[in-house]
Amino acid sequence: MTAFEIEGADRPSRWLVTCDHASNRVPPEVAGGDLGLPAAEMGRHIAYDVGAAGLARALADRLDGPCVLSTFSRLVIDPNRGEKDPTLVMRLYDGTIIPANRHVDAAEVERRLETLHRPYHAALARLAARRADTVIVAIHSFTPQLQGRPPRPWHVGILHSPLNDRFSRALIERLQGEPDLCVGDNQPYLGHLPGDSIDRHALQRDRLNTLIELRHDLIREEGQQQAWAERLAPILEEVLAALPD
């Protein structure tokens, strides 16, 4: 099992679409391919970003840029966390204990880093470096409600860091002009952690970037993913074209 999948590696545009949490698969070399959770739990947002992979593929196609997707569950090791982040390998997530992670030692974390986390980021880095003017669009999804928390009203959230938020702020302003959308500005959570994917591949390289979070009930089905890609692609192109040099 490879740690990543790339679609459209030869597409020429400056866009690079990423999907860190594309899959809920557990490689057979990790706990025998079973983290000890029932299928219903592995189908929840705790294991992957529901609908995000299909949206990322469709959006990259419309933007004529490549797309890189992880092929392993975030519960195995989270590619959107830095190597020293305490949540790199989750033991408890949204009320669910992950049995195979409860007693993971440093040697096992290092093995998962070497076989999954680092190859994914190496692939992402190669794609990002193919052009000097790469724009990274990270696609994620969020659950409508965490256990014991209030419902989340946003349809879409744009996450960003003050270190380089020109594109994200312009995108938020543009999306807020859409009358049917509730748009979150660094909602449902803050958009920057040291060592995360955007930090590594965009902020540290001073690349234009944004992280788009869609509420996953809006993109669960393929038709929804296609519709959102068709809606977002021209908006992204419009915002980029309007940015001052």
Pick from 241, 179, 212, 219: nearest CA to 17 = 212
Q: Can you give the pLDDT at residue 160?
A: 97
Residues 32 and 243: their CA atoms lie apart, in Å, by 49
8 Å CB contact between 49 and 141: yes
DSSP codes, 139-154 = EEEE-S--TTSPPP--
Residues 161 and 189: their CA atoms lie apart, in Å, by 12
DSSP codes, 76-140 = T--TTS-TT-TTSS-SEETTEE-GGGTT--HHHHHHHIIIIIHHHHHHHHHHHTTSTT-EEEEEE
8 Å CB contact between 19 and 120: no
Going residue by residue through the chain, which has 245 residues, state the pLDDT in tens, using 9 for 90 and above.
699 999 999 999 999 999 999 999 999 999 999 999 999 999 999 999 999 999 999 999 999 999 999 999 999 999 999 999 999 999 999 889 999 999 999 999 999 999 999 999 999 999 999 999 999 999 999 999 988 889 999 999 999 999 999 999 999 999 999 999 999 999 998 878 899 999 999 999 999 999 999 999 999 999 999 999 999 999 999 999 999 87
Pick from 49, 20, 62, 44: nearest CA to 227 = 62
At 162 the three-state DSSP class reads coil
Q: How far is CA 64 from the centre of its chain?
A: 19
Q: Report helix, strand and coil shares of the chain as percent, to nearest 5.
A: 35, 15, 50
Q: Can you give the pLDDT at residue 78?
A: 98
Q: Can you give the pLDDT at residue 149?
A: 85
